[in-house]
Structure 1
Amino acid sequence: MPTVEEYFGKNAGVVWHALKEKGPMNIAQLKSKTKLTDKELYGALGWLGREGKTCILGNTPLLFKFSLKE
């Protein structure tokens, strides 16, 4: 069984590369691009957010887009 760091770290890398390649994306776009499950995607976004690598664009939760910090 993978460690927490291996599991979420790997998925965070997948999300990071998707955002680096395509720019800001919403949840549906990230799910489509990364093929991660909801749990994997939200865990990865939480990991990246905690590391200070992402930001949220927009005011309405259902319309949020996630972006890499510059």
Structure 2
Amino acid sequence: MNIDTIGYNAGLVWNALNEVEAIGLVQLRKVTKLKDKELMLALGWLAREDKLVISEDENGKNIIVSLAQG
């Protein structure tokens, strides 16, 4: 996998997150149809650019992501 592919996948993730307020990783993987490794690299890309808000659900078992405002 090269940097262009990771950037493309980050775009897929950004577009999916732009359609919802917040989403869990399992649902995000289904929506984007990315493999786990591809999704994690794309999320890392977006996180590094300060594009994400990352939190846990009430149980602390699931990671929830959403787009950062601004």
TM range (shorter): 0.7 to 0.9
Report the equivalent of 2:67. 68
Runs (5+) with no aligned partner, structure 1: none
Provide the rounded CA distance (Å) in 1 between the counterparts of 2:67 and 2:30. 18
Alignment of 1:8-47 (within 5 A): 8-47=6-45
Residue type of the alignment partner of 2:67: L
For residue 19 of structure 2, give the secondary structure of its aligned residue in structure 1. Answer: helix
TM-score normalized with structure 2 length = 0.86
Runs (5+) with no aligned partner, structure 2: none
TM-score normalized with structure 1 length = 0.86
What's the % identity of the aligned pairs? 43
Q: How large is the RMSD of aligned CA atoms in angstroms?
A: 1.4
Task: Show CA shifts across 1:1-43 (max 9, x none).
Answer: x741x11110000000000012211111001100000010000
* Stretches of 4+ aligned residues off by more than 3 angstroms: none
